[in-house]
A and B are shown apart, each in its own frame.
Chain A
Amino acid sequence: MMAATATAASDASDISAAYRRITRRRVGLLLTLCLALAGALVLDVVTGPSALTLGDVIRGLFDPTSLSAGERVILWSVRLPYALMAVVVGASLAVAGVETQTVLNNPLASPYTLGISWAAALGAVAAIVIGIDILPAAIVLPLAAFLSALTAGLAILALAQIFGSRTETIILFGIALVFACTALISLLQFVADAETVQQSVFWMMGSLGRATWEKLTVVALVFAAVMPFTLRGAWSMTLLRAGEEQASSAGLPVHRVRLAAILRASLLTAAAVSFVGTIGFIGLVGPHIARLLLGEDHRFLLPGAALTGALLLSLASIASKLLVAGAIIPVGIVTALVGVPTFVALLVARRRGL
């Protein structure tokens, strides 16, 4: 009996020590991602049709008066909000992706699965087509998109509350919402004139070009307000990866945890897509890349996904400015072009045990 207890104690300390080594490696990976993101952010700010060198950017950041008036406007009113918006939107979408994938136990889930992105698009397209002009379009469009997305998120929550929060039920509600929103968008576009249709299609492509400091502040504030709750639920989310039955049998209130996660994902997605349009792929692939690098412990996975999402959108933003000389392609188009090769490279590396 004594020998068995001693063996168990030694096993426990061995396991704990080995796990601490894994934890340290994960912290190292998070720091590496931070550095990569910082590099991408600088590159994003430096890249653009107007020739601003790295030196100009650094000087302009610390001493704006050292730049010409035109350069100042480009750096402070265009490049910086544009680049920082990529970081915040990418982080928001990827964190929302992790939350939905985990609580729905579905690797194909993303903010799109719940129909929230499409609801945002419906709100924006409706505002464009109906032509609400009581406020400037720069305010009306994101406001309509946000309200519509939030309504969709709350509708999913209400339905889950009434009909039960089984993963299949929620996914089916989400799919129904996607179809309803796309049908309504098509209807609105069908009755609208050509110019309005073009405007709405362009909105749906997703573009960081709409970024301003005010919009950036709103998205960043939502992210900052939601993240503490997200991180506080990290252990619950990790436990859910053992399966709903295991988690529930261990005393986790699965229904409540699931609804709270969907609410958080809805808020993050609604805020992000309302200002930049529907940007796909980041919410699906960002979490998978983070998972491949950091595993399933959500204490690392959630911040890791925020960083990979931010990094992906930052790289997409750079690519959107470089792919066609003198033009900025909507970033929503580029995200998949950047994300797919990154994802495939990681999958291949993992398979080879690299």
Chain B
Amino acid sequence: MSAPLEITGLTAGYGRTVVLHGIDLPAWSPGTVVGLLGQNAAGKSTLLKALSGQVRYSGEARFNGQGLAGLSARHRASIVGYQPQAAPLATGLLVYEAALATFHATAPDLGRDEADRRIGAAFSELGLSNLALRRVDTLSGGQRQLLSLSLVLARQTPLMLLDEPTSALDLRWQIQTLQAIRRAAEERNALVLIAIHDLNLALRFCDEVAVLHHGRVLAAGPAAATVTPDLLRDAYGIEGRIERCSAGLPIVVADGATATSPPPGGISP
């Protein structure tokens, strides 16, 4: 199958601050879940924002041969589902209204029944059905993060870009959420890019990883083969080991920071 997403020489940033320096990424197949790894400010969120049209970029980013930069907001949204790092605002909007408005405002041709079916499926998958008629400002941070992800899952786009979708979730929902994301990728043959800090979750749920460092690609490849002690040292500035648990799953054990740890949030000049 042809690679849907092609990224070559992509440069992006904010004003005069360049965050991504002409990066190339591998051509992942549809149905693949890709973990974007790297320390804070490595460029993970900026990459997702660039691909989803939130930040301008130069270079090439094509999906199924179509350049993402030139698309209208609505057309891009039919292809790209982006979950921003920030959860929905805590307002008096009802949870169900947030989902309904997403469809009516951006995909009015879909029809109310189909929108309801998709919202119901996404809410059911992420445990939001009982919260559907609650005001968003009464939800916890984790529940609002689940709502944000449900809005992306419900839209059923062939490319999903998820910015730390599990950062506010408890252990159970971290697992359930990533399982739901995997299922969505497999059932709909969608390509999923997840910015994630938890390396153990990345090793368990991602097929591939791309590691960013100071706005450049440090490594990319199958998750288990790419996350190595050397990578931990180079990308995160930690001494660590990759062990196997009794079930054979790889586990990252961090022993401590290296003497020459990169500063947190350091962007190369």
Residues of chain A touching chain B, judged by Cβ–Cβ distance below 8 Å, are 4-5, 7-9, 11-16, 18-19, 22, 105, 235-236, 238-239, 241-243, 245-253, 291, 295-297
Contact with A along B99-141 (1 / 0, CB 8 A): 0111011111000000011011101110001001100100000
Which interface residue of A4, A11, A22, A252 has the most chain B CB atoms within 10 A?
A11
Q: Which residue of chain B lies nearest to A236 when distances are taken between CB atoms in the complex?
A: B105
A332 → B minimal CB distance (Å) = 29
A12 cross-chain contacts in B, Cβ below 8 A: 116-117, 119-121, 123-124
Q: How far is the CA of A246 from the CA of B155 in the complex (A)?
A: 13
Q: Is B3 part of the binding interface, using a Cβ–Cβ cutoff of 8 Å?
A: no
CA distance A236 to B73 in the complex (A): 13
User: Considering only CB atoms, which chain B residue lies closest to A7 in the complex?
Assistant: B124
Question: How many B residues have CB within 8 A of the partner chain?
Answer: 48
B78 at the interface (CB under 8 A from A): yes
Provide a sorted-by-A list of 20 A–B residue pairs whose CB atoms are within 8 angstroms.
A8-B121, A8-B123, A9-B117, A11-B120, A14-B129, A15-B132, A19-B97, A238-B104, A241-B91, A241-B101, A242-B102, A245-B84, A246-B148, A248-B53, A250-B102, A251-B73, A251-B77, A296-B91, A297-B93, A297-B94
Task: Please name the residue on chain B nearest to A251 by beta carbon.
Answer: B77
Chain A residues positioned under 8 Å from B92 (CB to CB): 241, 291, 295-296
In the assembled complex, which residues on chain B have CB atoms less than 8 Å from the CB atom of A4? 124-125
A18-B133, A239-B102 in contact; A246/B151 too (CB < 8 A)?
yes
- Residues of A within 8 Å of B86, CB to CB, are 243, 245-246
Alpha-carbon distance between A19 and B123 when the two chains are bound, in angstroms: 15
A95 to B108, CA, bound (A): 24
Nearest 6 Cβ contacts at the A-B interface: A12-B120, A251-B77, A243-B89, A8-B124, A235-B104, A239-B101
Q: Is the CB of B97 within 8 A of A238?
A: yes
Give the contacts of B69-99 with A (CB-CB under 8 A): 72-74, 76-78, 81-84, 86-89, 91-94, 96-98
In the complex, A22→B117 CA distance in Å? 19
Apart from A291-B92, A296-B92, what are 16 other A-B pairs with CB-CB below 8 Å? Answer: A11-B120, A12-B117, A12-B123, A18-B132, A22-B133, A235-B101, A238-B101, A241-B91, A241-B93, A243-B86, A243-B87, A246-B102, A250-B105, A251-B77, A295-B93, A296-B94
Given contacts A239-B105, A243-B88, A250-B105, contact A15 B96 (CB under 8 A): yes
A291 surroundings in chain B (CB, below 8 A) = 92
**B151 → chain A closest CB, angstroms:** 6
A-side contacts of B82, CB under 8 Å: 249
A-binding residues in B (CB < 8 A): 52-54, 72-74, 76-78, 81-84, 86-89, 91-94, 96-98, 100-102, 104-108, 116-117, 119-121, 123-125, 129, 132-133, 136, 148, 151-152, 155
Residues of B within 8 A of A22 (CB): 94, 133
Q: Is there an interface contact between A296 and B93, defined as CB atoms closer than 8 Å?
A: yes
Residue of B nearest to A254 (CB): B73
The one of B52, B73, B106, B125 in contact with A8, judged by C-beta atoms closer than 8 angstroms, is: B125
A291 to B86: give the CA distance in the assembly, Å. Answer: 24
Residues of B near A251 (CB, < 8 A) are 73-74, 76-78, 106-107
- The answer to whether B133 and A8 touch across the interface, beta carbons within 8 angstroms, is no
- A239 and B106 contacting across the interface, CB-CB below 8 Å: yes
What chain A residues lie within 8 Å of B136 (beta carbons)?
Answer: 242
Measured CA separation A11–B116 after assembly (Å): 10
Residue of B86, B92, B123 contacting most chain A CB atoms (<10 Å): B92
Tell me the smallest distance from the CB of A122 to a CB of chain B, in Å: 34
State A130–B103 Cα separation when bound (angstroms). Answer: 53
Q: Are B93 and A238 in contact (CB under 8 A)?
A: yes
Q: Contact at B120–A9, with CB atoms within 8 Å?
A: yes
CB contacts (< 8 Å) of B94 on chain A: these are: 19, 22, 295-297
